[in-house]
Amino acid sequence: MELNFTGTDICAVNGTRGTPEAYYDVVVVGAGPSGIAAATEAKQAGKSVLLVDENPISGALMGNDVPLYFGGRMTAATQNSERMLEAVFMSMPALETAMEAGVELLLGTTAWGVYRNGPGVATLPEQLVGLADAERSWLVGFGQIVLATGARDLALAFPGWNQPGVMGAAALQMLLTRYDAFAGRRILVLGSHDLALETALLALERGLEVAGLVEVRDIPQGKADLVAKVKAAGISIRCGQTIASAKGGIDGVTEATLSGGETIACDTICVAVGLVPSIELVDAMHGPRTLNATRGGYIPAGEPTVSAVGDCAGLPDTGFDHIAYRTDWMRALSNVSADDTIICQCEEVTRADLIGVQPPHYLNRAAPMCARSLETLLKDGPANPDQIKRLTRAGMGVCQGRRCRDQVAMLLALESNVPFGTIPLASHRAPVRPLPMKILADWNEPAELTAAWDVWFGIPTQWVPVEDIGTKHEDEHRAMLYTGMYL
Amino acid sequence: MSASHVVIVGGGVTGLSAGWWLARSGVSVTVLDKFIVGWEASGRNGGGASHYQSPLFDEEQRLWPQMEELLGYPVEHQKGRMIIAMTERQWEQYRFVAERHHRLGHPVEVLDTKQVQEAVPLAGNNCFGGVHYKFGGHANPQRSVQAYAWALQDLGGKIIQHSPVTGFETAGGKVTAVKTATATYGCDAVVVAAGPQIPQLMAQLGVNVPLAPARAEMIITEPAPMMPLTGVDGHKLYGRQTMRGNLAYGGGPHEWIDVDATGPKARPSTPLMRNLASRLAELFPKAAHLNIIRSWAGVIENSPDGRPILDRLSSPDNVTVASMSGVGFGLSPASGHAIRDLVIDGKCSFADIDILKLSRFDKLEADWREKRGWMPIS
């Protein structure tokens, strides 16, 4: 077979990508107070500005605890997207001010990926952000991106946490304030730092019962004035204890049992031990990030065209070591719960299987497999959460590891007896929100890209059966399949 | 030849399989990897195991059904493939391929839309038909690379991770040791199976190995109901339904890149995932509502003709070079066997693999990458 090289690989991506639908000098992701302020300020400085916010979140996503740990405690009102859109808009008067200033606002719009040229990719037309609403996805070019994505809930595992009614503090606050759609009545709060205290006071203010706070350390952890307010409201803080288990029925949690043996009736257990800055987009775009224990975890390290504001840039630094605090919780919870406690809800991975680096139960575990564990794996090198994920499937599910990634990292640090900071951050990948195939799909593909599409590299000699090389069949193969498909 | 201690450069699937085969023959094996076993393309590919184009095909087919038992660890091997045509042109092409399989004696069956849907219920009424390969299959790349590594260790082999190879020591026309930044590993023979880093490493031995690296992308969905047949290609996509139910698919244009001696600096996926998603939604219309939950990219190297380079060199004569040219995972049970034979016996015992010799590129023009358009955008 004679090959005529033209200097061009028709199956390479070079020059085949489409152009983005729009360009903005500044795109702001997240319309909380920090995002609105950043967008308004940029607009006032004469820039073209797009402000996107994923709220209202679809009921389906909420059910998967994305992006916050909603724990199935939303009212049916969250299924009504028009009502939720109105609720979200009305809850943020500053949105109207930003729009009046000329900021373009898209609610119900997710930023699922940020892309720019760099190591390993040089074919993008410009810096891009991928957006999606309930109907479709599209790409927008930008000069500067401001991430105001807030912080997400730290989830913690205990027996019974995988049922409705166990939820995070950020999700509870969101349902109480922006959505007015919380379905619980009586809440037990885990934690006693500012987040837990503020959440308890908010719940009380909204007319809910607070059954108490549980604190793993010996004394309440938050600001003295908040502790005083909580105590003045008659809410007890049970210190030196953790939760041992939660029991429930078809509607979820009905009671919690503490490690001291006390049983507390409640329909909601709010895990208010910590928030984690939402850096999914930064990590998925291979942006630099650093671990900062007093600001809640990994935070964006900053780049010329990428900035972070609000909780995404790190929780307010009060000197409190969030990593040490949540590790104390993790250690105590592990000490009082059985090894078969589920850590990854999506993939039903238990702590024993995680630490045993065992495969899921639908696979065979022959004797050599059973003999393997984290301990044997550590002889080959330090623990890496992405490797553990591949072996155990912990973090591989539809919640994209939101409920378990922080716990897995803490457990690996505890089991390896190394500082938390030496455990690499498990990778985030686009789309940073689960997105239906038909929504993510590019239904207006450029003709150049269609023409370049081959199942693999399009090398005409690569898939010629060895028996056919040098025969007439080789030419037939090329005539039928070249520039089309190489099987 | 006596090769009582073999150092393997590269803990990808090819190097690990070679190490496992050598260890099975009683050879003392050390695998050196720059990071963690199977971290690059070996653990990021589509998992297909149906490579009829290769001289290693029969051995690939013979071995996969036994691999879990031979290794002692799960690999998630599933039998059979289907390729589904979504356009008239694809249908013409796939039937051509079916005829070719008949001619070569590979069992295939051409199916109409209804028959396709019986085996692949997520397929829609919009397909033209399919070709069912009653051979081949797929496995889980991530689980398989670790299975090779563990099985190798169980036979006494060593895996040294986080240890990029920096060079070699030579004497008397042989490589006598392999060097990393912190240690020197003496050896009787070397296998260089370092993927895109092969050219830089072999240049240190004065051997030119023409390989060009590129980046390719995949996506995965949340789990779908299990289909009777899980190895489904078509519509210019390749992929599989995992045993958990996820649909993992790739295909489409690649990007040529440069990789230095330390390996890829990043493996970014791009908005190309949207085009993978649209094709997958057409291939499986009944799964179009499923969430895409991840995308990723991997870096693979290609030889000028897209075929592997599996060769025991004449000088230094104890060096075996192994690149599978972007199609390494599925063939790994067989490529490891072939490399074992080359290292110990100097010749592959089960197939004629002369076509995979490096010497076929002796007269390759210096600007072969430019001629093919296989250069990165500068």
pLDDT digits (tens, 9 = 90+) for B344-371: 999 999 999 999 999 999 999 999 999 9
List, in sequence order, every beta strand (DSSP E) within B10-101.
28-32, 78-85
| Residue A3: predicted pLDDT | 75
CA distances from A2 to A5, A474, B96, B302 (A): 10, 10, 21, 19
List, in sequence order, every beta strand (DSSP E) within A174-308.
186-190, 209-215, 237-239, 243-249, 252-258, 263-265, 268-271, 275-277, 289-292, 297-300, 306-308
Return d(Cα A244, Cα A38) in angstroms, integer. 43
Return d(Cα B355, Cα A96) in angstroms, integer. 70
Of B53, B146, B288, the CB nearest to A463: B53
Q: Which residues of chain A have pLDDT under 50?
A: 484-487
CA-nearest residue of chain A to B212?
A457
Q: And the tokens for A147?
A: 């991430």
Residue A423 burial (CB count, 10 A): 22
Contact A440 B277 (CB under 8 A): yes
Q: And the tokens for B216?
A: 């390719």
Return d(Cα A427, Cα A279) in angstroms, integer. 11
Integer Rg of chain A from CA: 25
Return d(Cα B70, Cα A87) in angstroms, integer. 60
Of B43, B93, B297, the CB nearest to A485: B93
| Residue B378: predicted pLDDT | 76
pLDDT digits (tens, 9 = 90+) for B9-50: 999 999 999 999 999 999 999 999 999 999 999 999 999 999
CA-nearest residue of chain B to A131?
B271
Query: In whole numbers, what is the pLDDT of chain B averaged over residues?
Result: 97
ipTM higher than the 0.85 cut: yes
Return d(Cα A321, Cα A323) in angstroms, integer. 6
pLDDT mean over B234-248: 98
Q: Which amino acid does the sequence have at A60?
A: A
> Over 70: is that where the pLDDT of B176 sits?
yes
Q: For testing the chain A interface, which of B39, B153, B270, B283 should be mutated: the one with the most A CBs within 10 Å? A: B270
Min Cα separation A256/chain B (Å): 32
Closest of A458, A63, A67 to residue A279, by C-alpha: A67
Return d(Cα A363, Cα B146) in angstroms, integer. 15
CA-nearest residue of chain A to B252?
A453
| Residue A485: predicted pLDDT | 37
Min Cα separation B372/chain A (Å): 5
Measured in degrees and rounded to the nearest 5, phi and psi for residue A298 equal -75, 135
Interstrand relation of B247-250 and B212-221 (parallel, antiparallel or unpaired): antiparallel
Q: Which residues of A324-359 are buried (b: 16+ CB within 10 A; e: fewer)?
A: ebbbbbbebbbebbeeebbbbbbbebbbebbbbbbb
Q: For testing the chain B interface, which of A6, A13, A379, A463 should be mutated: the one with the most B CBs within 10 Å? A: A13
| Residue B3: predicted pLDDT | 64
Four-way CATH pick for B5-73+141-209+305-361: 3.30.2010.10, 3.50.50.60, 1.10.3720.10, 3.40.50.720: 3.50.50.60
Give chain B positions within 8 Å (CB) of A428.
none
| Residue A302: predicted pLDDT | 87
Give chain B positions within 8 Å (CB) of A449.
252-253, 275
**DSSP 8-state assignment for residue B56:** T
pLDDT digits (tens, 9 = 90+) for B257-295: 999 999 999 999 999 999 999 999 999 999 999 999 999
Q: Does B299 touch chain A (CB under 8 A)?
A: yes
Q: Does B325 touch chain A (CB under 8 A)?
A: yes
Q: For testing the chain B interface, which of A11, A377, A487 should be mutated: the one with the most B CBs within 10 Å? A: A487
Return d(Cα A115, Cα A124) in angstroms, integer. 8
Return d(Cα A221, Cα B270) in angstroms, integer. 44
| Residue A483: predicted pLDDT | 61
Residue ranges per structural domain of chain B:
5-73+141-209+305-361, 78-134+212-302
**DSSP 8-state assignment for residue A177:** I
Return d(Cα B237, Cα A295) in angstroms, integer. 44
Are the beta carbons of B50 and B304 closer than 8 angstroms? no
Are the beta carbons of A348 and A161 closer than 8 angstroms? no
Q: For testing the chain A interface, which of B293, B299, B350 should be mutated: the one with the most A CBs within 10 Å? A: B293
Give chain A positions within 8 Å (CB) of B278.
441-443, 445
CA-nearest residue of chain B to A478?
B93
Return d(Cα B99, Cα A349) in angstroms, integer. 46
Give chain A positions within 8 Å (CB) of B215.
120-121
Residue A484: which residues within 8 A CB-CB, separation 6 or more?
Answer: A454, B89, B90, B93
Residue B102 burial (CB count, 10 A): 13
Q: Which amino acid does the sequence have at B235?
A: H
Min Cα separation A115/chain B (Å): 7
Q: For testing the chain A interface, which of B39, B143, B152, B292 should be mutated: the one with the most A CBs within 10 Å? A: B292
Interstrand relation of A137-147 and A22-29 (parallel, antiparallel or unpaired): parallel
Of A17, A123, A480, the CB nearest to B96: A480
| Residue A366: predicted pLDDT | 97
Of B244, B270, B371, the CB nearest to A7: B371
**3-class secondary-structure state, position B347:** coil
Contact B104 A467 (CB under 8 A): yes
| Residue A6: predicted pLDDT | 87
CA-nearest residue of chain B to A129?
B271
**Residue whose tokens read 């949540």:** A326
Q: How many residues does chain B have?
A: 378
Residue B186 burial (CB count, 10 A): 12
Closest of B293, B271, B158 to residue B221, by C-alpha: B293
Give chain B positions within 8 Å (CB) of A134.
none
pTM exceeding 0.90:
yes
Q: Does B238 touch chain A (CB under 8 A)?
A: yes
Q: And the tokens for B363?
A: 């007269």
Fold of B78-134+212-302: D-Amino Acid Oxidase; Chain A, domain 2 (3.30.9)
**3-class secondary-structure state, position A214:** strand
Residue A216 burial (CB count, 10 A): 23
| Residue A487: predicted pLDDT | 35
Give chain A positions within 8 Å (CB) of B237.
455
Give chain B positions within 8 Å (CB) of A122.
255, 257, 376-378
Contact A434 B253 (CB under 8 A): no
Min Cα separation B250/chain A (Å): 8
CA-nearest residue of chain B to A285?
B268
Are the beta carbons of B89 and B245 closer than 8 angstroms? no
Interstrand relation of B78-85 and B232-234 (parallel, antiparallel or unpaired): parallel
Min Cα separation B325/chain A (Å): 9
